[in-house]
Amino acid sequence: MEAITKLLDTGAKILQQVPLSLLLLFLAFTGLGGAILLYLALFIVAPVPRSPRGSEKGYKTILPDGKRSEVKQLPCWIDSWNARKQLARRKGVPLDPKEQMEEAEVFMSVVVPAYNEEKRLGGMLEEAVDFLQREYGDAHSTPEKPQGKGRNNTLQATRRGWEILVVSDGSTDSTVDQALDFAREHQLSQYPVPVPGPRTPHPIHSTHIPHGSIRVITLEENRGKGGAVTHGMRHVRGQYAVFADADGASRFGDLAKLVEGCQSVEDKTGRGVAIGSRAHLVGSEAVVKRSKLRNFLMHSFHFLLRLMTPPATSSIKDTQCGFKLFSRASLPFIIPYMHCEGWIFDVEMLMLAESANIAMIEVAIGWKEVMGSKLNVVWDSLGMAWGLAILRASWAFGVYRRN
């Protein structure tokens, strides 16, 4: 103990003899070195999304004769957006907000990330096409003429057409076959055989759908849910784009509420985001029946979100619900800058929207626990916490940036 005391006294005397300016210089260099090391560490561990491969830029669908199409080229709004952005940069002028995106071809695009979902995908698609066809119909059909004038009637007149992009995320089962078989049955038959789902275990009704309305994209290897969603969002043709989980846990009919909510917060350029939320279910049987460990991890993650995300994102009560809607005008401010391909990608989407001053609204939706989740509660929760820390630090220190 005496030796330690003498050592501390000696150190204190040495520090007293060092000029203050030299001491401050030493502290400055130490801080700078630490910041450089932290930046390099983040640069190494921060996720970098891989570029889409050639085969992943195409899709298959069902032709009018019921045969599977050859691989067709996907439209890619992000390519034309990049070209316009580069041209504006060469001219030394900002990209005109009106030129951010080309016109939509349909009203609603639905992106469904699917990894080994052969057992659950059909039921989700059944519920989805029933709502989409009833609400939006065929893009080439003639809508009924609305009565009166005004923005609501104009929107109603243009709400025509929909598409579903099923993104098979390196599936090793028959997910792709199930999606295409579903499309064939519902295209060729006026009275398709209905597929049971989470809310309709014994369905008696099914929906005939337009040819080519379901497109199936195959990723060569698994990228993660975030990677599959981002890939699908690059190729949407809709005025609005929503991603929905393949298990059908979210009540698809509540998409109408998301559209209404999004339109209520859109700015003058049409940018807005609507977030499906299960926060109102906290305390309900659906949540209470979960294990204490899962509920504890859920609350812990929400606490970290409040600490580590900017104000608008941290105020969202349910960031992880797999049912989020984006207006077409908002996509160029979010999708090109995505990095996370795992479970934490939702948070990055919301942070990017917030950084671009895009208004967000949380909308309560119906939700049902569905068996077969691929989420490992403990390990994936730890992974999400780690991913959140890396994500926040990478944006804060400039490892990630808007180019």
User: Per residue in 302-346, pLDDT tens?
Assistant: 888 888 899 999 999 999 899 999 999 999 999 999 999 988 999
The answer on pLDDT for 147 being more than 70 is: no
User: How many domains does the chain contain in total?
Assistant: 1
| Gap between the Cα atoms of 337 and 344, Å rounded | 14
Tokens 């030493």, located at residue: 26
The per-residue pLDDT for range 166-190, each reduced to its tens digit, is 999 999 999 999 999 999 999 999 9
Q: Cα separations (Å) of 206 from 184, 187, 239, 255, 297?
A: 13, 11, 26, 19, 39
Domain membership flag for residue 147: no
Domain membership flag for residue 393: yes
Domain membership flag for residue 353: yes
Helix residue ranges, H only, 191-268: 225-233, 255-265
pTM: 0.86
| Gap between the Cα atoms of 20 and 14, Å rounded | 12
Domain membership flag for residue 59: yes
Tokens matching residue 43: 């640069």
Q: How long, in residues, is the chain? A: 403
**With bands split at pLDDT 50, 70 and 90, how would you rate the model's confidence at 157?**
very low
Domain membership flag for residue 13: no
The per-residue pLDDT for range 29-52, each reduced to its tens digit, is 677 766 677 767 777 878 888 889
The per-residue pLDDT for range 350-359, each reduced to its tens digit, is 999 999 999 9
Specify the CATH number for the domain of residue 282: 3.90.550.10
pLDDT of residue 46: 82
Domain membership flag for residue 274: yes
Tell me which residue range forms the domain holding 320: 53-139+158-397
- Spell out where 182-294 has E strands: 214-219, 238-244, 273-277
Which has the closest alpha carbon to 390: 356, 342, 354? 342
Residues 6+ apart with CB under 8 A from 384: 301, 342, 343, 344
Domain membership flag for residue 383: yes
Using a pLDDT cut of 90, give the percent of the chain over it.
55
